[in-house]
Amino acid sequence: MNFLKTLGINANNYGASTGLKWLSTCGNGQFDISSPADGKAIASVYQCSKQDYEDVITTAQDAFKVWRKVPAPNRGDIVRQIGNKLRDYKQPLGELVSYEMGKSLQEGLGEVQEMIDICDFAVGLSRQLDGSTLHSERPLHRMYDQYHPLGIVGVVSAFNFPVAVWAWNAMISAICGNVTVWKPSEKTPLTAIACQNILKDVLQQNDLPEGIFSIVIGEGDVIGESMLHDKRVPLMSVTGSTRVGRHAGASVAARFGKSILELGGNNAAIFTPNANLKVAIPATVFGAVGTAGQRCTSTRRVIIHEDMYEQVKEVLVKAYSGLKIGNPMDENNHVGPLIDKQAVKMFTEALTKAQAQGGKLLCGGEVLSGEGYESGCYVQPAIVEAENHFDMVQHETFAPILYLMKYSGEVEDAIAIQNDVVQGLSSTIFTDHLREAEIFLSHWGSDCGIANINIGTSGAEIGGAFGGEKETGGGRESGSDAWKAYMRRQTNTINYSTELPLAQGIKFDI
């Protein structure tokens, strides 16, 4: 396990850092982390205390006063250096992501690549934080709007993308002039500690103060709650389940904070009679079983035209029979483990319920045991024939369960089924027919934040804005103009005349 040493992971690690130094609380309980890949203990993390949290927040407040005055392109230069450091550490960090979280090594490396890409994106963006120039109705007046940093941005990330989601938030937020306090998932704190160690060199080499990038590792209902209710944290970016996000959104709104919510998905792929199966089948299988079905964007439902339903069903079941399930660090395997045994229990219970509601299990569903499966976290991805209104189909189960369903009639009928869930993250249609594709993308088409043609529901590029509608939370992160959510807008009107004309033609003579 050379990668642990390279990344500065010890047997016991501290749970709070202000960037350059780790705070040394060790009497507040600890998280013992083992790998879902082989069940072996990796390392422990001392939980951050309330006092650590206070220290982190006050240090971050001070750092903000310095960081916001650094010109944005110079902040971009720091992010450029972080991107370069991530390039140096791509292999070990990708390995740790794979080992701690359980996704395949290819996907672990891909996740680090997303971090590098968002750094590059943020560097360019640091020269483009633009506002509009507007025309005033008053003579010799000028109006424009500009964007200012907010202060401390709290980032709560989930286990499934333990490092990339932080980078999307932290790097964009940093070039905007904010400082970040990150609470990673309790299930994957080691990758977060590794990122903090990677950053440290850059901060040191540039003589930057403590508090620009901080980390607090603790229980959600203690540290997470503190952040949600803390007025010193004007923006909270939360990735997690709809249950978590509903509470987070309401708590932050109650103190008039801003939030970016990236919550559950119930992503569907539509197969029309004009689908090219050579594209559609692998895209759907990867979407459903990649990261063992634990992406927010994982494909959960396939809506197939009745004329080709039996054929697609047969091909998908056949493709599933060829899946290699095993150690994620072995590149020959397609599917790694679920994050923990609790997730395995959710998977088997969801399958039992789906069948009780009328679903028919077509393949998979077993929990694997024996050599190579000692962690107890490996399952055989399942395909279930179902109907959209089944309660289980309406819920997001964070596991590799794919529900197949039929539609008859036109593409609008398939879209109606697709939209008939409470979530609205990602969606796709497989068709070579222009009219079907355009209807899917039209304003009466997919109601999701992400709508694709002839690619899967997962694997979004960082250049686009990432997020979704309805119970997915409405937030947007990553590319495009998602940066605006990390800043406050100010509208400025400047009078360079010697008169005082009032807006709307109001006369006020004194």
- 380 closest CA partner among 337, 333, 316: 337
Signed CA dihedral, 49, 54, 56, 57: sign only: positive
> Does the annotation mark 371 as catalytic?
no
The residue ranges that bind ligand UN1 (CB under 6 A) are 160-161, 165, 239, 295-297, 458-460
Taking the complex as a whole, the smallest distance from the CB of residue 160 to ligand UN1 amounts, in Å, to: 5
Would you say 265 and 425 are in contact if contact means Cβ atoms under 8 Å apart?
Answer: yes
Would you say 141 and 163 are in contact if contact means Cβ atoms under 8 Å apart?
Answer: no
**One of 262, 436, 471, 477 is an active-site residue; which one?**
262
Would you say 245 and 469 are in contact if contact means Cβ atoms under 8 Å apart?
Answer: no
Would you say 267 and 301 are in contact if contact means Cβ atoms under 8 Å apart?
Answer: yes
Q: Give Cα separations from 294 to 97, 277, 279, 342, 458 (angstroms).
A: 14, 24, 22, 13, 11
Lookup result for tokens 């403590």: 210
Element (H, E) at 91: helix 90-101
Q: Quick one: 198 exposed, middle or buried, by C-beta within 10 A (0-12, 13-18, 19+)?
A: buried
Q: In what order do the strands lie in the sheet with 12-13?
A: 12-13, 41-46, 30-34
Would you say 187 and 36 are in contact if contact means Cβ atoms under 8 Å apart?
Answer: no
d(CA 453, CA 430): 6
SS3 call for 320: helix
Taking the complex as a whole, the smallest distance from the CB of residue 121 to ligand UN1 amounts, in Å, to: 13
